[in-house]
Structure 1
Amino acid sequence: MFTHVTLGANDLEASHKFYDAVLGALGHPPGTLSEAPMPGVWYMTPRGMLGVVKPRDGQAACHANGGTIGFAAASPEAVVAFAEAGVAAGGVAIEDPAGPRNSPFGVLHLAYLRDPAGNKICAVHRPG
């Protein structure tokens, strides 16, 4: 459905470290740092990409209140690894601890974090 998602960041070094850690825990390779034309860190998959970028308008980045970016996790263990890697890399765990939760879609394994810029992200495993 999506070709790309971008998140604003004020400290690219901290964001690069954080996203390399959380996405690495989900099996993705490290991001590529780009200086121009849009400074940021880019994570590519065969189906899309994530950019963690300095805002083009030169203003400070801020998080979207009510917004969340969810990343697919291959297992419940990957959800926990995502949460642990994120906290170790400067993120903040929010909401309930990583683990199973009841939802309208059945039991999901979830972990929610705030990245160094305050963006809300999560890892999700949907048991088959």
Structure 2
Amino acid sequence: MEKENVPQHDGNLSKKNLKELVYATDENGNYTTALSTGWEPKAIALSNAIDDIKERAEEARIKVQNGELSPICYFMELNKMDLSILAGYVDMWKWRVKRHFKPSVFAKLNNKTLQKYADAFDISIAELKNSITK
């Protein structure tokens, strides 16, 4: 696309005064960079993705309150992580992190392990243990 035709849609990026770097051609046909606030299809897709994340986090919160999942799963969703990303942050195997989703296993975790999760979520151990059950 030509530099003067780079989309400038009033979407999620423009609301936060953010711009993304895109490639475009200049008047001589050479590739150059330009800043864009996005375009409508991308804004719709981003909005839908954010709504999906909020919905998954809410479902996880309810399951934590019902004793079906540990708070780790809720905070993972809230922080827009998946199992692989979280396992990388806490330096554990994915199967081990997934095991910690069980409330009975979570209740037995030592403070060192809980601190790894708290650090990954940028919260305290107390918040990890108590913030959802209230």
User: Would the TM-score normalized by the shorter structure come out above 0.5?
Assistant: no
In the superposition, the TM-score normalised over structure 2's length comes to 0.26
- Structure with greater helix share of residues: 2
Of structures 1 and 2, the one with the larger relative CO (CA 8 A, separation 6+) is 1
- Structure with greater strand share of residues: 1
In the superposition, the TM-score normalised over structure 1's length comes to 0.26
